[in-house]
């Protein structure tokens, strides 16, 4: 088929995806319904309400502020009642619906029109992306923003002139917005940005990307500094806790400061599902005491020695086969679909990655450098860094499903469909 027809298929898929998401978010599964506002979702909503009132607590800096800032925007516009939360639900629908479009455009820069259209189809109907949009969690905005950032970033890298500079600036804005929701995606932005520093003609693009990213980062720093009462040039302060949980095999961590009446408790969903790990309780400590939790995590690594590798392997398993994505596991209406999707994805992922690697090697031998498949594999490999640093959780893996689905589109297009 000509490229025009594949573009039509891609746009139709985006429309179908938007319709499915509208039915899910705006009709069947309102993310602001009381039964879905608990745990992390309750935290995002509570911080959004406080932000819309101009109120700050330290927890507004402990967690990445991007998600609750997004929810706060419609609350500020339409009020903190039902109208405001309807606005937030529409915003979540819009972000989730734009993700297939951004994925298509990213794949169109890196792959063939056929592969790009298949990518749009897969991302549009990917059950996990649709289902997660029915909850106020960070996955929906983070995936939309990183897809947009990489599309504009590679458009800038392979383009020229003022349009390329503008695309680089857009990549910086969307990229830092993604990090403000999910800081783990910083590795993907490094993969995008570092090659721009290798050639003199790309330096203007790198500068545009960095300057626009600095604007969003500056807003994050202002928010976090107000929350902590001091200059805080960080995206978040819960990184050390994730490191400790992952390397000390924690099933639950709590801190208590009775003098200041500060209490915190958290348990990673995979450990709770499987009934594994240890309970840690600390008194007289703040949950944002990063140096303390980093030291404890390193101590656990030294104690385990070479045996620590088995824990890392379990993190990888928990990201895929041995855990059901949370909070979908708590929702009886979608639990089975989430489990089946996760299971089938786990079975097919090795085949997709190997086939994508072979295709990238084939193109490299033919003299094509860089290859789109190689770039996608590099972005997907960032999930390994997350597993090495923190703990295994399907939620951490979810942003990288985008790259696996694009690789699947590339492989199918190459092997079974027209490659024009």
Question: Is the pLDDT score of 61 beyond 50?
Answer: yes
Q: Is the pLDDT of residue 166 over 90?
A: yes
Angle between helices 161-181 and 186-193 (to 10 degrees): 160
**Reported pTM:** 0.95
Q: Is the pLDDT of residue 217 over 90?
A: yes
Q: How far apart are CA 24 and CA 337, in angstroms?
A: 14
137 pLDDT band, cuts 50/70/90, is very high
pLDDT level of residue 346 (50, 70, 90 thresholds):
very high
Query: If you average pLDDT over every residue of the chain, what do you get?
Result: 94
- Residues 12-59: pLDDT tens digits? 999 999 999 999 999 999 999 999 999 999 999 999 999 999 999 999
CB 220 within 8 A of CB 181: no
Which two tokens mark 168?
């680089």
Question: 3-class secondary structure for 92-111?
Answer: HHHHHHHHHHHHHHHHHHHC
Average pLDDT over every residue of 153-171: 95
Which are the contacts of 257, defined by CB distance < 8 A and separation ≥ 6? Answer: 263, 283, 284, 285, 286
In this structure, of 110-119, 147-156, 314-323, the range with the lowest mean pLDDT score is: 314-323
**Rounded to whole angstroms, how far apart are CA atoms 408 and 373?**
10
């Amino acid at each position: 088929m000509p490229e025009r027809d594949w573009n039509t298929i891609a746009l139709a898929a985006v429309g179908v995806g938007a319709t499915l998401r509208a039915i899910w978010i705006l009709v069947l599964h309102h993310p602001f319904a009381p039964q879905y506002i608990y745990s992390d979702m309750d935290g995002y909503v509570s911080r959004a309400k406080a932000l819309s009132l101009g109120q700050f607590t330290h927890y507004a800096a402990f967690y990445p502020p991007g998600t609750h800032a997004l929810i706060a925007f419609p609350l500020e516009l339409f009020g903190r009642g039902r109208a405001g939360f309807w606005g937030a639900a529409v915003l979540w629908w819009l972000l989730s619906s734009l993700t297939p479009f951004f994925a298509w455009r990213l794949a169109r820069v890196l792959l063939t029109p056929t592969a790009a259209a298949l990518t749009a189809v897969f991302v549009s109907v990917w059950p996990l992306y649709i289902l997660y949009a029915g909850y106020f969690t960070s996955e929906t905005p983070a995936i939309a923003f990183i897809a947009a950032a990489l599309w504009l970033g590679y458009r800038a890298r392979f383009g020229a002139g003022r349009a390329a500079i503008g695309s680089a600036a857009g990549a910086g804005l969307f990229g830092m917005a993604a990090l403000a929701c999910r800081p783990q995606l910083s590795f993907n932005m490094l993969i995008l940005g570092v090659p721009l520093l290798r050639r003199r003609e790309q330096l203007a693009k790198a500068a545009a990307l960095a300057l626009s990213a600095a604007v969003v980062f500056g807003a994050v720093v202002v928010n976090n500094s107000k929350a902590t009462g001091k200059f805080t040039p960080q995206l978040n302060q819960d990184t050390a806790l994730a490191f400790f949980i992952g390397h000390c095999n924690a099933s639950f961590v709590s801190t208590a400061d009775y003098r200041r009446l500060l209490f915190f408790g958290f348990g990673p969903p995979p450990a709770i599902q499987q009934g594994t790990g240890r309970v840690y309780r600390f008194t007289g400590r703040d949950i944002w005491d990063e140096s303390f939790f980093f030291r404890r995590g390193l101590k656990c690594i030294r104690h385990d020695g070479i045996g620590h590798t088995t824990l890392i392997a379990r993190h990888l398993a928990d990201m895929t086969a041995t855990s059901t994505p949370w909070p979908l596991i708590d929702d009886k209406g979608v639990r089975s679909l989430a489990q089946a999707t996760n299971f089938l994805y786990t079975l097919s992922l090795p085949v997709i990655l190997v086939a994508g690697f072979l295709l990238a090697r084939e193109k490299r031998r033919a003299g094509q450098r860089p290859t789109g498949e190689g770039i996608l594999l590099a972005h997907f490999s960032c999930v390994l860094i997350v597993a090495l640093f923190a703990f295994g959780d399907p939620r951490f893996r979810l942003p990288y499903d985008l790259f696996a689905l694009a690789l699947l589109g590339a492989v199918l297009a190459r092997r079974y469909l027209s490659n024009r």
